[in-house]
Amino acid sequence: MNFLPEEICKAWANRDKVTILATAGESNLPNVIYVTCVELYQSKKIVIADNYFDKTRKNILAGSKGSFLFKTRENKTYQIKGFFEYVTEGEIFDFMKTWNPLKHPGHAAAILNPEEIYSGAEKLY
């Protein structure tokens, strides 16, 4: 997916700040965490700051796909599923450093590249 649809970008601008990220380990055991240090990159990728990942980092580096859930202030939910990149330098890492609070280490940027988007049970893309 080259760009997130306009509906998703508008919902993103109106989202609650606490979001949820799910990955799976090598044995397919799920791992779910709350994330707050997250931004949309160029209307096409979800960038999550790795401040304190442990299992999440291991799962991403082992090739886990992910699921990211957010809701709007009106309680409409969106789930974005896709594959990860994990970077410790470069343009997207530098982007993450511009908004990640200085009190957090920002070890890396986990980049979720969308493949499917849902609102509730309805597949949007």
CA distance 57 to 33: 11
Q: How many CA atoms lie within 13 A of 49 on its CB side?
A: 20
Spell out the domains of the chain, with CATH numbers in brackets: 6-123 (2.30.110.10)
Mean pLDDT for the stretch of residues 97-118: 96
36-94 pLDDT, tens per residue? 999 999 999 999 999 999 999 999 999 999 999 999 999 999 999 999 999 999 999 99
Question: Residues with Cβ < 8 Å from 76, sequence gap 6 or more?
Answer: 11, 119
Residue in 24, 72, 20 with CA at minimum distance from that of residue 46: 20
- Give residue 26's pLDDT: 84
Top pLDDT among 67 and 3 is at 67
